[in-house]
Structure 1
């Protein structure tokens, strides 16, 4: 390694280590801010109980689906609520589970719908449009199949719309792998820490001008205000677009203090990587400048570069300082986020997060590859504006 290359590499490692440390400090501050807000909300009475329609799009019997759906049938909600489930066909295995649970809990109002083949490029959005048309309440809760909820989920979530100025609120989540696997553990850490850290910092610095779609509570008219189901259904990250358009109109969008669980289903290392890559490619198109800047928030790649230069120069102290600094700041960052979300195992995630940080950097690099994605058996391409290019019609 020539002196010029060595010096340049060390400078890059130093700059990256500083920017990642600054980001870690922002995350810790934002996490503490959210944690205080969450604790305050938990100590307040939850008395707002408007009628709710819960919309659950389904596609097959995903792992842990019965457990996840059961949580919605057993809600301790003081008001009235209905559950709507929708899949493409009556024979869908996910609908079979919903029917079984509806029989077990006849006191919970549940309806089973089918929508046929999706008419929008985004199949989830088409399913939601069918359920929204059938819903009876003026406040809708949209919830993905992998959402895990406690009995007070609806009671706590509904409080976000007590303020008439708030039109939409979304929940952050703690992800948990449903099988013992390193790649699933890293995936869960990415969803719990990496994703939520970025959301909390963005909210602290610029306010909430987006939404995340695992669980969202919103007034019925927000979809029309944001362009309608058909237009939103042309985007892959329709949840982000919905929240962003509402915020630009001056409508109230906020992060709910109610945190949910999220199932990370068993998958091979390749499938897990592809799933995470799909969302990173979507984020790159939703917020291109912010996503590009994310490259400077990772600590592990810069630490490894600094460590390599230190060893090449025979300076063991430099190498160890780079590694120790990265391990420490990543542990503090992860622990702060997990504690703010209410995790009881924050220390375990903190110890593993440096490895996730390196894995996340590789996903970030991969997000600049051509954005082909597969969802529920259909191949799409995510276009530069975030819209989905539908597959060519079959002859």
Structure 2
């Protein structure tokens, strides 16, 4: 019994240590966000890609935010693979409301590989006008200075890719709140730790800004089309080519609407299995983020070992305290118009732990209306071809690996 207690105590201590480090990194990043921002001297033309597939929550406001940038020369390219995609009517409204913005719509059903999003990007790329390309998902929302803050990071010549963190803003409902909590209070802090103490090794699907010359050097969008984790793959290829990745001093907003807990679990299971396929050891280390389950496990072991109630209750109380600290740190840094109550923390922590365990039970994931098999290295096989376009709101941002 003692050896199990020592092992569990070590894991729990490491988890609490992770919490404290995460709080430090979040608050340090808050200082970066609040620092005075200076617009870059050179403001090159930018092409914004908005790949579409079905509807997202508050989609019109999301897309409009990319057409309301305080930037001199930019192009917004919308792309869909289906002429009946319900998102196209919203795109039409957005383009009509922004007649002075250079917008283009590409509808092309040419399949280019197993990743539907990247296949769409390949088709959209034919109309790009500028040499700085910014890709972001359709469920993201940004401020008017978004492009300027991203472009500012391209100053040094060796920077080939710029990315952004994102925060979750929930729609009404328990599942949506839990989904937003995962983004803002679990994923984002874990992504900040390696970004704070080392060089960026990955990029995030919330924003992938890349120079055309760099993208061409690593094989173009075609090099990503066989992987579900296209963001992770792009970051890896850019690093292998000798370029740096920078984290911009801006946080984009992800509007999260989950229809129910089942939909939430399926989304997070896809994220988990994708991460596990590309970074198995890094994914294993993410169990350290589950402080409350680890504290609960240690409390149960101390009870079985016959320790007093102070020893039994101590780990769980410390775990909850550490989690609340991180909750308020992220709340202060990634403020949301719909903040989430801290009483949901234990539910969210236990759910994350359960999803992580479930991720080891298979490789099949659902992406919108397709069923995919995620193989080693993030390679994907289509198990079912989509026969319809999603007509309901669905969130599909993939969280990238975080190496603790």
Q: TM-score, normalised by structure 1?
A: 0.91
Q: Does 1:32 align with 2:24?
A: no
CA separation of 1:265 and 1:117: change in aligned 2, threshold 3 A: farther
Unaligned 5+ segments in structure 1 are: none
Give the equivalent residue in structure 1 for 2:311. 318
CA positional deviation for 1:88 = 1.0
Give the equivalent residue in structure 2 for 1:180. 173
CA positional deviation for 1:46 = 5.1
CA distance in 1, matches of 2:341, 2:377: 35
CA positional deviation for 1:392 = 6.8
- How do 1:199-238 and structure 2 match up within 5 A? 199-238=191-230
Residue pair 1:12, 1:302 contacting (<8 A) in 2 also: no
Higher relative contact order (CA 8 A, sep 6+): 2
Taking only aligned residues, the RMSD between alpha carbons, in angstroms, comes to: 2.2
CA distance in 1, matches of 2:162, 2:54: 28
Post-superposition Cα deviations, 1:24-44, rounded to whole Å, max 9, x if no partner, equal 12212322332233223x443
Post-superposition Cα deviations, 1:94-118, rounded to whole Å, max 9, x if no partner, equal 1111111111221111111112053
Answer with 189-198 or 313-322: which moved more.
Answer: 313-322
CA distance in 2, matches of 1:21, 1:82: 46
Post-superposition Cα deviations, 1:113-167, rounded to whole Å, max 9, x if no partner, equal 1120532100100111122221001111111010011222223222222333211
Give the equivalent residue in structure 2 for 1:75. 69
Q: For residue 361 of structure 1, give the secondary structure of its aligned residue in structure 2.
A: helix
Give the equivalent residue in structure 2 for 1:190. 182
Give the equivalent residue in structure 1 for 2:391. none
CA positional deviation for 1:59 = 1.0
CA distance in 2, matches of 1:359, 1:246: 34
CA distance in 1, matches of 2:14, 2:135: 37
Give the equivalent residue in structure 2 for 1:114. 107
CA positional deviation for 1:288 = 1.1
CA distance in 1, matches of 2:84, 2:124: 18
Q: TM-score, normalised by structure 2?
A: 0.89
Unaligned 5+ segments in structure 2 are: 387-404
CA distance in 2, matches of 1:365, 1:241: 24
Give the equivalent residue in structure 2 for 1:159. 152
CA positional deviation for 1:382 = 0.2
Q: For residue 124 of structure 2, give the secondary structure of its aligned residue in structure 1.
A: helix
CA positional deviation for 1:261 = 0.4
- How do 1:43-82 and structure 2 match up within 5 A? 43-45=37-39, 47-77=41-71, 79-82=72-75
Residue pair 2:39, 2:152 contacting (<8 A) in 1 also: no
**Pick from 321, 332, 337: which aligns with 1:328?**
321
The number of aligned residues is: 385
